[in-house]
Amino acid sequence: MIDINIIRTNKELVKENIKKKFQDQKLPLVDEVEELDKKFRALKQEVDNLRSLRNTLSGKIPLLMKEKKLDEVEKIKSEVKANNEKISANEKEIDELSLKIKKIMLTIPNFIDKSVPIGKDDSQNVEIERFGEPKVPDFEVPYHADILTNIGGLDKDSAGRTSGTGFYYLIGDAARLHSAMLSYARDYMIDHGFTYCIPPFMIKSDVVDGVMSFAEMDAMMYKIEGEDLYLIGTSEHSMIGRFKGQLISENDLPITMTSYSPCFRKEGGAHGLEERGVYRVHQFEKQEMIVLCKPEESMDWYNKMWQFTVEVFRNMDIPVRTLECCSGDLADLKVKSCDIEAWSPRQKKYFEVGSCSTLGDAQARRLGIRAKGEKGNYFLHTLNNTVLASPRGLIALLENNVQKDGSVLIPKVLQSYMGGKTKIEPKNKR
């Protein structure tokens, strides 16, 4: 959510940003909220004047009572009563206007960074850099579901019976490898000074409103029937929500945390769900990182954070690249974002395994998260980044480490989490 003062002083700047995000349908909202805000402020001023008048009138009553001018007292009391009724009516209208303004302000996108490339959708995202040499072996790399099945690690049929499409059982060494990756990602972040946290996996609607746009919420999140609770789609939501309404000492900044959670997503729309594989599913697990910092430090943290993810994947012998998200691919709260994509030797292309974003002070404004500094209080900047999400990370590892005989090599950094194993053998030798 942007500062409404920008609309008051430079609404054309707001409109230009909306155009850069190819959301021209929202342009009339800027004029609408400007008019509502003018009416809101005028009513507030009128209420202040009425209160001042009420105080003046009420102050006259004791003296008039002392002078026994009872007729004048009754007249003033009538004026005060009418004044109170007018104040009450205006306050009701002010509350209604406040809700209307907030509803609109929540839909106006945040300002994108000047460095963000202008583009309509993710097809116009820009490759930044590649890390590691993408290789294609001299044998045909199987589909990841077949690799998992061959090592006795996947059961989607049973998951279909218990839970439906979009769910899965990971079994044996595959499940262990999945956990090993997440444990390594956790320890990597702890070693880099981040505090480990396991957050609540459900959050209230006011936290949801604070961390994401309504369109994102509707497309992603599952609501708990009969309760004001949503299953999280990423632990970033509950991690940022932890600081809702807090005034944080500047001496405690930056706050750097890494969190583990299961994640639950509808995954509806054009992408759909995978019938056989586990690339797009309703439930997965993730190691996340979040940072709350001073505004002037947010871009430095952004660049540190995505590099952490790159190093985690490179340490597991997985080639990756980074893509700069264009303006039309940025969610409304994001200032700047990049995707981390892993190499798929089977598809001979990269696929998304994580993303890093800075949201400026948008989430902090929505949730009332401020810092107390020497020059006064200010809204913090919030950032988030996927350290590792699985099973997508698991898919990347399997494809880049499967051998011709169906076995899967275990990267050195994961071997201690696998009881010293260096390889997962297939159940049926080829």
Structure tokens, 41: 């402020």
| pLDDT digits 0-9 by tens, 299-357 | 999 999 999 999 999 999 999 999 999 999 999 999 999 999 999 999 999 999 999 99
Report d(CA 29, CA 112) in Å as an integer.
18
97 and 215, same domain (yes or no): no
| pLDDT digits 0-9 by tens, 70-108 | 888 888 888 888 889 999 999 999 999 999 999 999 999
Asked if residue 39 is part of any domain, the answer here is: yes
Asked if residue 384 is part of any domain, the answer here is: yes
Long-range contacts of 212-217 (CB under 8 A, 24+ apart): 212/237, 212/331, 212/333, 213/106, 213/107, 213/331, 213/332, 213/333, 214/106, 214/107, 215/332, 216/331, 216/332
Instruction: Determine the pLDDT at residue 270.
Output: 47
Instruction: Determine the pLDDT at residue 271.
Output: 55
263 and 217, same domain (yes or no): yes
Q: Could you write out the three-class secondary structure of 213-229?
A: CHHHHHHHCEECCCCCC
Tell me the whole-structure pTM to 2 decimals: 0.90
* Intervals of the chain under pLDDT 70: 268-275, 429-430
**Does residue 142 have a cis bond before it (omega within 30 degrees)?**
no
Is the Cβ–Cβ distance between 199 and 239 less than 8 Å? yes
**Among 72, 105, 138, where does a domain finish?**
105
82 and 170, same domain (yes or no): no
Is the Cβ–Cβ distance between 230 and 212 less than 8 Å? no
CA distances from 357 to 116, 117, 332, 334 (A): 12, 15, 12, 7
At 15, phi and psi to the nearest 5? -65, -40
Q: Return the residue matching tokens 């409404």.
A: 4
Instruction: Determine the pLDDT at residue 273.
Output: 60
**Among 47, 79, 105, where does a domain finish?**
105
State the residue range of the domain holding 79: 4-105
Report H helices in 163-233.
172-191, 205-211, 214-220
Q: Which residues of 92-116 are buried (b: 16+ CB within 10 A; e: fewer)?
A: eebeebeebbeebbbebbbbbbeeb
Structure tokens, 26: 């929202």
Mean of all residue pLDDT scores within the chain: 94
205 and 263, same domain (yes or no): yes
Radius of gyration of the chain (CA): 28
